[in-house]
Amino acid sequence: MKYLIRAKIEVDGTVDKPDIIGAIFGQTEGLFGNEFDLRDLQDKGRIGRIIIDSKQQGGKTVGEIIIPSNLDRVETALVAAMIEFVDKVGPYNARIQTINIIDARLEKIKKISERAKEILQQWLKEKPIDVKEVLKDIESSIKTAEVVYYGPEKLPAGPDVDKSDTIIVVEGRADVINLLRYGYRNVIALEGAKGKIPETIVNLSKQKTVIAFVDGDHAGDLILRELIRNAEVDYVAKAPPGKEVEELTGKEIAKALKNVIPVQTYLQQMEKKEGVEKVEVVQQPQQTTTTQVIEVQRETSIPEVEGVVTYQVPQKVVDEIKRLSGTLEAVLYDSNWNEVGRVPVKDLVDYIMKLDGSNIYAVIMDGIVTQRVVDTATTKGVKIVIGARVGVISKKPVDTVILSYEELIH
């Protein structure tokens, strides 16, 4: 409201607030036509609720009337004059006199002005800027954070391992100190683990995005491989060849972390480099083909993954893969390549879990093969999983072949 009409009232008898309001409405009705009927003005929001503050005094009723107004100045003055002509409240004589009309906007401006003065006075009282203190504050802000010891194994770490959604896993305490020096506070060390990966790291990898950052040497690769086998690593970063993380400059660290690669890409690179778990798809000559042969060649020194295993995929299944495109369905087969189930891809994991694992030999799906699909299939003894695409699989099963349509058909 723009204005507040303040008036005092005196009634020669005892009356209640509703009596006064009723008298004001009743005795002003029709004085200036419908345009200035107080009820209509209230309905239209031109005047606000009439407030009565009254009390009994010596057999009389005295008090104050407040009427908020959104009319212009002339119209507001007319309303103030109208209520002064109310001379009866019930059977008693009454007298109403306007005390003043408050311009609410001016009052607001006055309050703002007073508050501005207070703010300015407080500002002037503040201590002037001390350049030495500013420099000291800047210097303290870049001090290296202290190493903390995290988890039951007391692994060297930065103070933000819990707070951050991403953690950087390095080899040892010296690596942690070097990264802290350049502001990387979400770092934690394996503490030179060459055997069992600390359970703390394993648990953290299930909750957070993990960047494994290792030295640029063969030992770094060995530690990285052990970490990938035991924990859920998402990305891999390496120091430049022949360098250790603990000796890198800030620029070298930033570059290494900028150039991280998905763990699946790293594993593929290692496969090409070392011949680990090479997967070759060989199609038989066209004139005699009824099957496609999948040879999974494992040529590592790791005993449990040595040897070559051959799987045959009937042509009818290859044709079914082509028909599946765009359906978002999955088909399950037994060891004789008979269909044992068909289900939407979104329900595949739950469906596999409910089935007898011994009946499932292969799964083909019009979707992305994820780590969750692979883990579920592995627990049920599935030997072949073929999808439209293969996602990041950080934990490759030893006895399950994972292929994309492109790898099988082309």
pLDDT-derived band at 376, boundaries 50, 70, 90? confident
pLDDT-derived band at 220, boundaries 50, 70, 90? confident
Q: Which residue has the higher pLDDT, 248 or 143?
A: 248
The verdict on residue 178 lying in a domain is: yes
Looking up residue 76, the CATH number of its domain turns out to be 3.30.70.2690
Question: How far are the Cα atoms of 77, 86, 233, 298, 371 from residue 226, in angstroms, in the given order?
Answer: 88, 95, 11, 18, 18
What dihedral do alpha carbons 269, 271, 275, 278 form, nearest 10°?
A: -130
* Same domain flag for 279 and 394: yes
Closest CA to 149 of 140, 164, 141, 159: 159
The verdict on residue 133 lying in a domain is: no
Overall number of domains in the chain: 3
Of 245, 273, 301, which one is at a domain's C-terminal end?
Answer: 273
What pLDDT, on a 0 to 100 scale, did the predictor assign at position 301? 38
* Same domain flag for 173 and 67: no
The verdict on residue 137 lying in a domain is: no
Q: Terminal CA-to-CA distance of the chain, rounded, Å?
A: 77
* Same domain flag for 229 and 216: yes
SS3 127: coil
Looking up residue 399, the CATH number of its domain turns out to be 3.40.140.20
* Same domain flag for 266 and 161: yes
Kindly report, residue by residue over 68-118, the tens digit of the pLDDT. Answer: 999 999 999 999 999 999 999 999 999 999 999 998 888 888 899 999 998
The verdict on residue 378 lying in a domain is: yes
Of 241, 273, 305, which one is at a domain's C-terminal end?
Answer: 273
Beta bridge partners of 211: 168, 235
Looking up residue 258, the CATH number of its domain turns out to be 3.40.1360.10
Whole-angstrom distance, CA of residue 206 vs CA of residue 208? 6
Please give the residue range of the domain that contains residue 81. Answer: 3-105
Residue 390 is encoded by which pair of tokens? Answer: 């293969």
* Same domain flag for 321 and 340: yes
pLDDT-derived band at 131, boundaries 50, 70, 90? confident
What pLDDT, on a 0 to 100 scale, did the predictor assign at position 179? 92
What pLDDT, on a 0 to 100 scale, did the predictor assign at position 286? 37
* Same domain flag for 170 and 266: yes
* Same domain flag for 281 and 398: yes
The verdict on residue 233 lying in a domain is: yes
* Same domain flag for 369 and 348: yes
The verdict on residue 75 lying in a domain is: yes
The length of the chain is 410
**pTM of the predicted protein model:** 0.38
The verdict on residue 123 lying in a domain is: no
* Same domain flag for 95 and 158: no
* Contact predicate 36/78, CB 8 Å: yes
What pLDDT, on a 0 to 100 scale, did the predictor assign at position 95? 95
Of 82, 105, 128, which one is at a domain's C-terminal end?
Answer: 105
* Same domain flag for 266 and 364: no
pLDDT-derived band at 276, boundaries 50, 70, 90? very low
pLDDT at residue 359 tops 50: yes
Cβ neighbors of 283 (< 8 A, separation 6 or more) are: 289, 292, 293
* Same domain flag for 23 and 56: yes
The verdict on residue 393 lying in a domain is: yes
* Same domain flag for 280 and 404: yes
